[in-house]
Structure 1
Amino acid sequence: MTRNQKAGRLEVGGRSVSTWWRELAKIKDGVGNVGGSWFADRVASWVGSGTDTLFWQDRWLGDVPLCRRFSRLFDLSIYKSSTVAEMFSLGWEEGGAVWGCRRRLWDWEEQMIGECRRLLDDFVVQTDVSDRWQWLPDTSSGYTVRGAYHILAHQVQQIDDDIRELVWHKHVPAKVSILAWRLLRDRLPTRNNLLRRGIIHPTAKYYVTGCGNDETAPHLFFHYNTFGALWQHIRH
């Protein structure tokens, strides 16, 4: 365990921690990134001793974390943040302390515990072997920047394809589709774009109403108070 890890989790730290480390922790948890939890969905823990793997919240037994597969049991559990090693020592056999809950369970919840126990029947903790993370897209070579780049590029392309189908819809007038497409590609003749192409003088880059902002497409369509308010009216 490193000084930046605790029970298999990245520790963000206090106020003095670097911005870079905060952003890295966000990537691990899939916060604010394209495609949702693109990183967390592609890593899994290979459990040896179980000391660095969270029983409920890490992906180590099956395709999804147990907290998602058995969300009801997770909500009721009194051991939400325990590691695999800690849960193993408590005992996950029938009647084991692992299944301690905040209230008495209904019959269907007891059946859910039975299903979870069956998943654990063949698992054996190896006390002398450390846990390790696996990069699922390439378990042999492991994580590489090149591989992660290709995954993200594919996701961006997929999002782009979805937008294309939405914009170029047969029920949308052609002139509306063209305007929307040029807006998404930042190809409209805003003052900022005209300045970049050398068509207008630098002193003419500011917004036509004299608000002091550069006339960019996002500001023109969404941020400026007068025009941005139109979207609220259209929405309602």
Structure 2
Amino acid sequence: MATEIGDGTNTLFWKDRWLLGQRIEDLSPVLASMVPGRFANRRTVNDAISNMAWIRDIHGEATPEVIAEFLKLCDIIDQVELQPDTPDRHTWRFSTSGQYTAKSAYDTLFLGSVPFEPWERVWKSWAPGKCHFFLWLAVHRRCWTADRLR
């Protein structure tokens, strides 16, 4: 999912991809690991930005790495402007319409995969089902033969 921020009431600050198209965890992994789940799973962008509550969510030791990530995140968040009367917009990145469908999710599973063209030879043959299954495993090198067990 990709998110365009409007008023920030429908987007989770720590979990959703709303800041530069990424999650806070992607931008500042060490800092994000210091936020307990009870805050990370509930804090909206509106709550976090309007009263700077996101800073109070961070618990733990302030190491130099944490401070560097904190300052970087502060600079990025200072650029964000909420639009009070505009709802947040969540779009599915894997379809042209931006709408989630089961088909688009299924197609996403196969992005970058190599199709096996002669599948009909395997599944449309007159062999018993267990032979179909064994042949399918063999073609995809998924049989646990002696050479694979080493």
Relative to total residues, which structure has the larger helix share, 1 or 2?
1
Preserved contact between residue 77 and residue 99 of structure 1 (Cα < 8 Å):
no
Does the aligned pair in 1 maintain the 2:9–2:44 contact within 8 Å? yes
The letter for the 1-side match of 2:148 is: I
Match of 2:119 in 1: 186
The whole-number CA distance in structure 2 between the counterparts of 1:71 and 1:102 is 14
State the aligned residue count: 139
Q: Structure 2: which 5+ residue stretches go unaligned?
A: none
Which residue in 2 is equivalent to 1:83? Answer: 44
Alignment pair present for 1:159 and 2:90 = no
Query: Is 2:28 the partner of 1:73?
Result: no
Instruction: Give the deviation of 1:120 after TM superposition.
Output: 0.9
- 2:73 matched residue in structure 1: 116
Aligned to 1:48, the other structure's residue is in SS state: coil
Work out which of the residue numbers 134, 138, 150 in structure 2 matches 1:219.
Answer: 134
- Which ranges in structure 1 are unaligned for 5 or more consecutive residues? 1-39, 92-96, 164-180, 196-204, 207-212
For residue 137 of structure 1, report the CA deviation from its aligned partner.
7.7
Normalising by structure 1, what TM-score? 0.48
Closer/same/farther in 2, CA of residues 135 and 235 from structure 1, 3 Å limit:
same
Rg: which structure is higher?
1
Separation in 1 of the partners of 2:9 and 2:31? 22
Q: Hey, what's the Cα distance between the residues in 2 that align with 1:221 and 1:68? A: 39
- Flag the 1:48–1:56 CA change in 2: closer, same or farther, 3 A: same
Q: Which residue of 1 aligns with 2:61?
A: 104
> Which letter does structure 2 place at the counterpart of 1:234?
R
Take 1:136 and 1:228, find their aligned partners in 2: how far apart are those partners? 36
Identity over the aligned pairs, expressed in percent? 17
Higher relative contact order (CA 8 A, sep 6+): 2
